[in-house]
Each structure stands twice: as C-alpha cells, then as structure tokens.
Amino acid sequence: MKDNPKKQIITQVAQNIFSRHGLLKTTVYEIAKAARMGKASLYHYFQSKEDIFKEVVEKENRFLKEKIREAIINEDTPQKKMKIYILKKMEYLRELANIHSALKDDYLEHYAFIEKIREKNSKEELFTIRETLQDGEDKGIFEINDIELTAFAIASALKGLEYPWSINISFPEIESNVDKLLEILFNGIVKR
Amino acid sequence: MKDNPKKQIITQVAQNIFSRHGLLKTTVYEIAKAARMGKASLYHYFQSKEDIFKEVVEKENRFLKEKIREAIINEDTPQKKMKIYILKKMEYLRELANIHSALKDDYLEHYAFIEKIREKNSKEELFTIRETLQDGEDKGIFEINDIELTAFAIASALKGLEYPWSINISFPEIESNVDKLLEILFNGIVKR
DNA sequence: ACTCGAACACAAAACTATTATGGTCGAATT
DNA sequence: AATTCGACCATAATAGTTTTGTGTTCGAGT
C-alpha cells in the first residue's frame, strides 16, 4: 500500500467502523458506503475484508511503535526504557481498538490471519525485551546468563500483568503493579 | 460432608465421570446410575448438580494441598519452598481434571459458583506467596518493602507462565522457564 | 429415613426457511 | 486503461418452529 488516496480513505473509514463494531459485525457494504463507493469497487483496492482489517491493524501498529519510539528516545537507562515501553504499550493498546481486538479478543483466535498477527506481535515483544537486556548488559548494568531464556521469562511475567483477577480480589493500580514487578525483576528480593 | 458412605460413593463416581466428560456434558442420571441409585435419590444427598461438582473440586483441592505440604516439608529455604510449591501445583493441576477445569475452562467462567472457586484459589495462592515472603524476610534472606504488593506482583508474574504463546514461537520447557523466572525474581538482573 | 416413578419447566438441540454477506463477473463509464 | 457498479452467486448467519433432553420436585411406597 503506497500513497493511493482511495486506499487510504478506505483504510481510514474502515478503521473507524471496525473500532466501533468489531471485525465480525462490520460489513463490507458499510465500509463502501462510508468511503462513498459501491461495494464491488472496494475489491479493486483490497482483496478481501480480511485484507482491509490487516491494513488497519498494521497502520495502528506503526502508530504504536512511533509513539513508543518518541517516548523512549530521551531515556538513558535500560530500566527506564523498559518501563516506558511497557506502560506506553499498555496505554496505546487501550486506545487503538483494532490492534487491541486483534491481539486480545477470544472470539477471533481461530482465524489464521489473527494468529499470524499475534505471533508477529509476540516476536516483536520478545525482540524488544532482548535488545533492552543486551543494551543493559553492554553497559555493565545487567548481568545475565542465557539472554534468550531471560527475555522469555520476563515476557511471560509481563503477560501475567493482564491476568483477569476476580473482582472480589482487591488488586493494585496497574502502574504500581508494573513498578513493583519491574523493581523485583531488576533488583530481586534476595537481600543485596 | 461428614462420613456418610453413600455421599462418598456419589462423590467418587461423580469425580470419575466429571473428569471424563466435564461438568456440562455429565448428566445427573449418569452419576445416579454409576452410584446404583435412582436419579431422584441423589437429591437426598446433594442439593444440586452444582453441589456435587463443588464437593468433587473441594476433594481434589484437599488432595492437592496435602501433596504440596508433603513435598515442601523438608525444604529449608524460602526459595526452594516457592519453587516446589509452583512446580507441584502445576503438576497436580494437570492430573486433577476437575479442579483444573474449574480454574481454567473458559466456557465455565460465567457460572457464579465457578467464579467463587477461582476467587478462593487465587486468595490461597496470594496467601501462600505472602507467607513465603514473610518467612524469607524473617530469616534475613529477603528484603522486601510493601510485602502485599510484592506478593501480588509475583503472583501476577507466575500467572504469565501459563500464557498461550503462538505455536510458531519456540518456547522453553516449562521447568526451565520456572527456574529462570524464579532466579530473576530472587536475584534480579541488575549486577550485584 | 430412604427410595424412586412420574411429572414439570425450560434449556438445548435439531430442523426448516429466510435473509444477509463476502465476493465475482462483465458491462458501462471515465 | 483505469475505475465503477448492478446483478448475481454460494453459503454463512439468523430467525422461527418443533422435538428432545435435563435438572429438579413431589408424593407415594418401602
């Protein structure tokens, strides 16, 4: 997808409608109407409904990455970089309805293309964590053996931050939970 | 439930049938037949199908707790106790089909009584982790500020161990992942 | 106290008909 | 040539109806 204006309009209107109704409830007809064209014309620009949704998710992912890059750019320590990465990702995932849906909605998990999106996202996450660990090690801040396994363990732990605790269990504010978990991951609980 | 032999027979046969067919697919009629009684007679001993399942889950939970107690009894350090606790729990949850189902199956999550079972289990988990942290602190091994929040953060991290990663992502053996995560939680990644 | 056949209310499943939806095709328009 | 779209297709989804299954109750019997 280059700079085709029609394609961008379709993507934009689709982004809005998908984010309100979700992938399944949004019809191709609705998107076409909102883009002021006939339904059949859409297929000149996109191969399928799935293609449109993929494009929308990729657009949101680019936005998310840019926002994270901006936030991290002036941080100097790997600890701060990791914290900002996690918090910004959580924050923007809440706003970006389509990528959130693609990554989190249970009813979408049997679609092969959704599985691919989730896989790509997980790989990017693991990569980012691994890079940050490497950076910290290079700077003599972190001391790590088996960096791959460490990246994986940390990624797993961070997934646990989204665990759906029962409503009757009083759980802390997400940010203090992130802070505390990162503090533990960085410094450990064994006396120094 | 005291020592009523009929009730114990019902519970035992129900445990078997529930673990094969699951809560929803198991009929009261089947349980009655297996216990060699009429369907209506069951209601003399249990108030409902739900009551039978609860009894079965409680039975399995008692068994699980006893197995963990036995495994931990000779361990001396809080680190070892925590590791054994996590691994044993994972191991027995895999074997004890009914409590596993009660805690994990998505299709059961809208039942109020299942939510209660999950809540109770989470509270027990948090309690166990908190106790172990306290033990470690009392022994001068751990240094913790805000023990409640720390217990919560660690519990969250451990929930992440069960995250369903995509099949195309090569993830490590569960035990090495547990080991690595615990190592990080205990010692941190910042150079000592 | 314990047992169970019969019945109940309604949930679940099966079946049938109708409508909606993603996608295609070819002709028309720009 | 690029773009548009009406009409149509195959089938998925939905709606409506009927049938069967299931948890539970009740009252009579042992």
Backbone angles phi, psi at B142, to 5 degrees: -100, 150
Confidence category of residue A127, pLDDT binned at 50, 70, 90: very high
Task: Please check the confidence at residue B1 and state whether its pLDDT lies above 80.
Answer: no
Least confident of A14-18, B15-19, B167-171: B167-171
SS3 of A142, please?
Answer: strand
SS3 of B58, please?
Answer: helix
Confidence category of residue A47, pLDDT binned at 50, 70, 90: very high
The CA distance from B181 to the nearest CA of chain A, in Å, is 5
The full set of domain ranges for chain B reads 57-187
Given CA atoms B131, B132, B138, B144 in this order, what sign does their dihedral have?
negative
Provide the mean pLDDT of chain A: 93
Q: Where are the alpha helices (DSSP H) in chain B?
A: 5-25, 28-34, 39-45, 49-72, 78-95, 97-104, 112-138, 147-159, 174-187
- Residue B192: the pLDDT is 85
- Which strand D bases fall within 7 angstroms of a protein CB? 3-7, 21-27
Mean pLDDT of B177-187: 95
Interface test with B, best of A123, A146, A190 (most B CBs within 10 A): A190
Q: Which CA distances in Å does A134 have to A80, A82, A128, A150? A: 14, 12, 10, 11
Chain A neighbors of B146, CB-CB under 8 A: 180
ipTM: 0.87
Mean pLDDT of A27-53: 94
- Which strand C bases fall within 7 angstroms of a protein CB? 2-6, 20-26
Taking one residue from A and the other from B, the number of pairs with CB-CB distance under 8 angstroms is: 139
What CATH code is assigned to B57-187? 1.10.357.10
Least confident of A154-168, B103-117, B137-151, B163-177: B163-177
Mean pLDDT of B105-126: 93
Mean pLDDT of B141-153: 95
- Residue B168: the pLDDT is 84
The CA distance from A113 to the nearest CA of chain B, in Å, is 12
Q: Is the CB of B44 under 7 A from strand C?
A: yes
Residue B111 half-sphere exposure, CB side, CA atoms within 13 Å? 19
Report the residue from B144, B180, B187 with minimal CB separation from A149: B180
Mean pLDDT of B141-152: 94
Least confident of A144-148, A164-168, B119-123: A164-168
Task: Please check the confidence at residue B167 and state whether its pLDDT lies above 90.
Answer: no
Provide the mean pLDDT of chain B: 93
Least confident of A31-35, A169-173, B32-36: A169-173
